[in-house]
């Protein structure tokens, strides 16, 4: 990651509250923002409005932030809303049109990270899209490229054989075994692995005796322990909290440590591996 941060503010489902919440997240310590050019679930334009407000009112420069957005294939778009590209055009044109829309929405000339929101229906289409992301990277329009909602380790390896996958963003929760196979590939390949649903999808992890013990010993919340544990496992979690106190707690996780309790931490590692 080009900026020193181990947690990302997620803007999905924030709707009209997006600008206020992004401003609040940054002022409370977040340095990385995730969005998508997908009106169905995101207001990328309102993330851009937040970036302007942060610059004009709070002297937070674009270069101080890690901005990540996504190209969403047509199957993931709500076609009753205005689309960021013409779905009848070739995939490379769809992607280049979408990324130009994102740059305009976000009032920036480059993106720190640009992801395929999901693979396409076929490998041929996905490969065509991946070549387009590689070209955008070569042009300097985007700095990192990657994929989201990609739960096949083989797919990640196959794409990396064409151009290195640098970011994977997936659900990481107990319902999919904490995405163990893809995380293993990311660890081996040096790929940034970002997780969502880290808290809401794993209630048994939040209530695990080891989590509760660490929370008590180190005066953390259970949520902070889970985020810190995730970071110790090479995971960059997304937080979508709308609560300012929780924003501060989430950002503080990077400075916390429970390294003296390796036995307890090993209990958590064994829990998520079994």
Task: Tell me if 241 sits within 8 A of 22, measured CB to CB.
Answer: no
Per-residue pLDDT of the chain (274 residues; tens, 9 = 90+): 445 579 999 999 999 999 999 999 999 999 999 999 999 999 999 999 999 999 999 999 999 999 999 999 999 999 999 999 999 999 999 999 999 999 999 999 999 999 999 999 999 999 999 999 999 999 999 999 999 999 999 999 999 999 999 999 999 999 999 999 999 999 999 999 999 999 999 999 999 999 999 999 999 999 999 999 999 999 999 999 999 999 999 999 999 988 778 899 999 999 998 7
Per DSSP, helices labelled H in the chain are 18-27, 44-58, 91-106, 123-138, 153-160, 180-189, 203-206, 209-217, 222-232, 244-252, 262-273
Nearest to 229 by CA among 190, 171, 270, 189: 270
Q: Which long-range contacts (CB under 8 A, 24 or more apart) does 216-219 make?
A: 217/258, 217/261, 218/256, 218/257, 218/258
DSSP per position, 215-235: HHHTT--HHHHHHHHHHHTTE
Q: What is the pLDDT of residues 66-86, one digit of tens each?
A: 999 999 999 999 999 999 999
Break the chain into its structural domains and give their ranges. 8-202+234-243
Q: What is the pLDDT of residues 236-268, one digit of tens each?
A: 999 999 999 999 999 999 999 887 788 999 999
What is the 8-class DSSP label of residue 159?
Answer: H
Query: Beta 111-116 vs 235-239: how paired, if at all?
Result: unpaired
Range 8-202+234-243 classified under CATH 3.20.20.80: no
């Amino acid at each position: 990651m080009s900026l020193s941060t181990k947690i990302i503010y997620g803007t999905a489902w924030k709707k009209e509250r997006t600008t206020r919440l992004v401003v609040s997240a940054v002022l409370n310590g977040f340095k990385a923002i995730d969005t998508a050019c997908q009106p169905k679930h995101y207001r990328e334009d309102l993330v851009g409005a937040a970036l302007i407000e942060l610059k004009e009112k709070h002297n937070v420069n674009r270069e101080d932030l890690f901005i990540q957005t996504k190209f969403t294939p047509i199957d993931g778009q709500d076609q009753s809303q205005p689309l960021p590209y013409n779905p009848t055009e070739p995939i490379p044109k769809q992607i280049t049109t979408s990324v130009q829309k994102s740059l305009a929405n976000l009032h920036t000339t480059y993106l720190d990270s640009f992801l395929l929101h999901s693979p396409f229906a076929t490998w041929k289409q996905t490969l065509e899209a991946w070549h387009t992301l590689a070209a955008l990277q070569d042009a300097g329009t985007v700095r990192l490229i990657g994929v989201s909602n990609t739960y096949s380790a083989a797919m990640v390896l196959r794409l990396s054989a064409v151009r290195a996958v640098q970011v994977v963003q997936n659900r990481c929760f107990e319902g999919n075994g904490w995405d163990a196979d893809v995380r293993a590939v990311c660890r081996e390949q040096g790929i940034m692995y970002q997780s969502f649903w880290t808290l809401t999808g794993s209630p048994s992890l939040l209530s695990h005796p080891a989590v509760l013990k660490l929370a008590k010993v180190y005066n953390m919340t259970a949520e902070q322990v889970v985020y810190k544990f995730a970071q110790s496992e090479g995971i960059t979690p997304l937080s979508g909290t709308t609560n300012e106190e929780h924003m501060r707690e989430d950002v503080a996780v990077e400075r916390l440590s429970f390294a003296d309790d390796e036995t307890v931490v090993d209990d958590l590692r064994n829990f998520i591996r079994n």
